[in-house]
């Protein structure tokens, strides 16, 4: 691979932009936009010819790296890492949540999609809720609980691509749940935001508080109940959660709160292999999970952004950011109107990703003025059609297989319902349904809600990147910004994760949150265009936390981790240093 075909092809290109390239970019900018140099990353890209695990929890990433060292592949490492992150970062994920994954298989060059998002319980209808006086779904509580999808997702991935048994893959998570771990700094801050919420739920307080308080940074936290739930999965596979004692505990607490979930709702749920959706952007092929997720909005944004010469405008120029912000509104308006569970009605994916339609849509963007009101595009035959915690992680193994995986409870911790003795909270993903009749995302039994969490993958000329940035409705717009940073501005994956971002919760209005790292001159120009900016400090969850791995055509692998969180990209140790055998699973350790 040559620099003339792909600027990310060498370590030098990954770590710095050339002086000539910087000068050319500055010359292309107009007087209205001050030149903004590309960010100097605060961290170096991790580089190796072996595997890398990038996670928001360094201890979990180290577990995944050890799985690779013991002969596991990217899927094995992803399952083991995700299980440990569920123990260490319960603010955003765990056995009670959902999961999506993109799996790149190096041998075939194919990208597979996995939808492990759970469905609503039997009996959950707008009419049933109306009979109980519920006319709008609350943020939390029993009406928001959907079937947890993550264990079904692990099972599907392991059955298709894995090489290790659950007993080996879950042993580290069981060990940490039993023996404890020091809580990481950012994680402790996120945990503390939920202290009052957790204290108001007896099972949650028992599980997640220490002497009535959330754990502080560096304090050792243990969850022996979760160790027990993980042991049942290690021994019985997916049946360890969807049948038997754990399933009984889930159904029991839902019924105690007046809900309708049945044993069959759990036992009959399966994850679904899906064909990823994709578009091209500046020669890159970018992949997302298809609906019921919001990934289509990221691709729609890119199709709109492609109509404008962002590289000529310059990184963090007002013109480039203005185009992205306007594209975000148009793409999200369409996504929120048309996307729901495709098993319950058609989602016009082909029309929404059509390049000619994108060109007409892009023509609505005024290059000088923000639009505070946009409308969804009209698609014949389709009926009209709502800050959250999540984790994202990604793995590359020595063969170049990549797993891009995202997992979530939805809101911090989830619904508030912790099944007795289970050690995890049930998600509140059902809060994303609408109760308005006739919409793509209207609540129905065994229907999956419009989903916010999305993993991503991109490739060009032998270079492949698994990436994701979490955070509710922030995700699709953050994905598009990451892709532009790489494709338009030639950034390394570490630079692209560290670059300042903007975020906007809805497609309505001109309000936008923007990071303080975006220059004041640019912010002033955006304000003059009509954008109503709220400047946020860098280490807030509003802009999401990301991870990325990359391979090039020479077989060199790269890893990056977002400094906004506690995470790290951890490389696999070469085989000569690998331990001979995995440690035995420890005996249970009880709370003192």
Unique residue bearing structure tokens 């092809």: 9
Q: What sign does the dihedral 171-173-178-184 (CA atoms) show?
A: positive
* CA trace torsion 452, 504, 16, 457 (10° rounding): 20
Dist. CA 70–CA 64, nearest whole Å: 10
Tokens of 247: 């399933």
How far from each other are the two terminal CA atoms of the chain, in whole angstroms? 59
Task: Let me know: does 226 contact 175? Beta carbons within 8 Å.
Answer: no
Task: Let me know: does 472 contact 452? Beta carbons within 8 Å.
Answer: yes
Dist. CA 416–CA 257, nearest whole Å: 11
Q: Which among 528, 529, 458, 469 has a CA at the least distance from the CA of 503?
A: 469
Task: Let me know: does 486 contact 9? Beta carbons within 8 Å.
Answer: no
Helix (H) or strand (E) holding 569: strand 568-571
Residue 100, SS3 per DSSP? strand
Dist. CA 536–CA 194, nearest whole Å: 21
Please report the beta strands in 356-425, taking only residues with DSSP state E, as ranges in sequence order: 389-396, 402-410
CA-based R_g, the chain, Å: 23
Dist. CA 115–CA 392, nearest whole Å: 15
Residue 125, judged by CB atoms within 10 A of its CB (0-12, 13-18, 19+), counts as middle
Unique residue bearing structure tokens 């010359």: 27
Residues 6+ away with beta carbon under 8 Å from 469 = 392, 475, 478, 479, 482, 497, 544, 545, 546, 562
Q: Which of 207, 390, 442, 503 is catalytic?
A: 390
**Does residue 390 have an active-site annotation?**
yes
Q: Which among 396, 459, 463 has a CA at the least distance from the CA of 2?
A: 463
Q: Which residues are tagged catalytic?
A: 390
């Amino acid at each position: 691979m040559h620099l003339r075909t792909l600027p990310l092809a060498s370590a030098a290109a990954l770590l710095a932009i050339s002086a000539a390239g910087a000068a050319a970019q500055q010359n292309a900018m107009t007087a209205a936009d001050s030149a903004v140099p590309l960010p100097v990353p605060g961290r170096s890209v991790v580089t190796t010819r072996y595997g890398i695990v990038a996670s928001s929890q360094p201890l979990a990433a180290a577990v995944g790296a050890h799985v690779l060292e013991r002969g596991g592949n990217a899927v094995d490492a992803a399952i083991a890492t995700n299980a440990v992150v569920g123990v260490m970062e319960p603010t955003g994920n765990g056995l009670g949540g959902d999961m999506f994954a993109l799996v790149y298989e190096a041998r075939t060059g194919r990208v597979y999609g996995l939808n492990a998002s759970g469905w609503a319980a039997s009996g959950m209808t707008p009419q049933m809720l109306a009979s109980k006086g519920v006319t709008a779904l609350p943020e939390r509580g029993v009406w928001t609980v959907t079937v947890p999808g993550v264990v079904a997702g692990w099972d599907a991935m392991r059955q298709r691509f894995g090489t290790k048994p659950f007993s080996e893959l879950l042993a580290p998570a069981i060990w940490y749940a039993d023996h404890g771990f020091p809580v990481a700094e950012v994680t402790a801050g996120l945990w503390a935001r939920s202290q009052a919420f957790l204290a108001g739920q007896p099972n949650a307080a028992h599980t997640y508080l220490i002497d009535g308080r959330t754990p502080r940074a560096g304090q050792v936290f243990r969850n022996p109940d979760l160790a027990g739930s993980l042991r049942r999965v290690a021994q019985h596979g997916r049946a360890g959660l969807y049948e038997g004692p754990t399933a009984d505990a889930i159904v029991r607490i839902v019924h105690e709160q007046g809900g309708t979930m049945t044993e069959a709702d759990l036992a009959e749920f399966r994850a679904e292999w899906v064909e990823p959706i994709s578009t091209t952007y500046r020669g890159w092929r970018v992949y997302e999970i298809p609906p019921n997720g919001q990934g289509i909005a990221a691709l729609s944004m890119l199709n709109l952004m492609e109509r404008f010469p962002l590289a000529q405008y310059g990184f963090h120029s007002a013109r480039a950011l203005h185009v992205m912000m306007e594209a975000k509104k148009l793409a999200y308006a369409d996504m929120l109107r048309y996307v729901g569970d495709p098993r319950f009605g058609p989602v016009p994916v082909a029309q929404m990703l059509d390049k000619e339609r994108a060109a007409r849509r892009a023509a609505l963007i005024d290059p000088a003025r923000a639009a505070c009101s946009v409308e969804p595009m009209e698609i014949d035959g389709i009926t009209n059609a709502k800050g959250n915690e999540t984790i994202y992680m990604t793995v590359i193994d020595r063969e170049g297989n990549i797993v891009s995986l995202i997992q979530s409870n939805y809101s911090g911790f989830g619904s508030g319902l912790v099944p007795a003795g289970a050690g995890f909270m049930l998600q509140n993903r059902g809060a994303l349904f609408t109760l308005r009749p006739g919409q793509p995302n209207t609540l129905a039994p065994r229907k999956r809600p419009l989903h916010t969490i999305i993993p991503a993958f991109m490739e060009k000329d032998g270079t492949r990147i698994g990436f994701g940035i979490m955070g509710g409705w922030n995700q699709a717009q953050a994905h598009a910004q990451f892709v532009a940073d790489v494709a338009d501005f030639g950034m390394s994956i570490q630079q692209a994760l560290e670059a300042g971002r903007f975020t906007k919760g809805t497609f309505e209005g001109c309000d936008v949150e923007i990071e303080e790292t975006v220059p004041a001159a640019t912010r002033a120009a955006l304000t003059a265009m009509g954008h109503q900016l709220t400047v946020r400090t860098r280490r807030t969850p509003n802009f999401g936390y990301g991870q990325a791995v990359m391979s090039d055509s020479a077989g060199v692998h790269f890893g990056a981790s977002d400094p906004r969180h506690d995470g790290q990209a951890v490389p696999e140790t070469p085989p000569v240093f690998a331990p001979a055998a995995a440690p035995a699973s420890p005996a249970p350790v009880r709370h003192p």
